[in-house]
Amino acid sequence: MAKSRPGGLNHFVPQKRLVYTCDKPTVRSVYLSDVVNKAGDKRLCAFLADRLPSFYRSPSKLLAALTDDYFITAVRDTLSRLPSADTFQESHFAEVCSAIFAEDVLGLKRLYSKLSLLTSENANAFKMDLLLVDPDSDPLVFTFGEVKSSPKVATNGSSAAHDKGCFADLFRSFNNYDENDVHFDLAAAKDRVEELAPPLRDRVKAALEPYGKRDVSYAGFIVIDSSTSSDEETAVLATRKNKKVFDVDLLRVQTLPVAIEKSYGHLKAILEKCSL
């Protein structure tokens, strides 16, 4: 099992991976983690704004562009890939937050995020959201992560109905993910192996070779506003059967819409300055 990394997103997760329990028979583990907006003098939106661009353009490609001596152009071209539509910002934010959680809290290594496959600023790619690897496993375990989210906040005590919304969507996505999709995602990972540092890079290369020694697992990530968390709705995540075997990490973000708006807002302001 991979070990969590100190620092990073851990600063903003005071309660992490609490085991959800209910009085019904369960078929998977569900872990609850709370993500807060501030930790001392650190702000979640600033931290995520710093990390967001690397999900749309690899740091190595950005560095290569910077070496051409066109700093502002390189930054502008990178930030122009970020979504401007609210709906895409919300779904992309959840994917980024989940990926960083997987790395910093779960200790996994990101091979790639679906966001790196996008061809336009307001678009979605229709494969698994995250492909991760456990660097401490032998043989290497590749984890396919699916991310779902909802921007809803609690109003007048009414239910967010996540059990009929993003929770249900998670099960549908896993059921629709077949062997051809697995091959596509592993092939996409091969194209990004060079981003890894040795010796993990060499181990991943060997594991991705035809008939390479590897294991495959699945993981669900859901990002919601903390005000909408409900034990009754969460029970669906633990009890509903599915074709795939997976556990779920439920990330409950404090004032989620504000975190999304401010994170992308920081970068929008920089993009506007670079476009003058």
Give, for all 276 residues of the chain, the pLDDT tens digit: 677 778 899 999 999 999 999 999 999 999 999 999 999 999 999 999 999 988 888 777 777 777 777 888 888 888 888 888 998 999 999 999 999 999 999 999 999 888 876 655 544 455 789 999 999 999 999 999 999 999 999 887 788 999 999 999 999 999 999 888 888 888 888 888 888 899 999 999 999 998 899 999 999 999 999 999 999 999 999 999 999 999 999 999 999 999 999 999 999 999 999 886
Both tokens of residue 33? 């983690």
- Closest to 189 in 3D by CA, of 176, 215, 207, 169: 207
Q: Indicate the SS3 state at residue 195.
A: helix
Global pTM reads 0.93
How far is residue 192 from each of residues 111, 161, 184, 262, 276, measured CA to CA in Å?
7, 38, 13, 30, 33
Where are the domains positioned within the chain?
Answer: 8-274
Antiparallel, parallel or unpaired: β 140-149 and 214-225: parallel
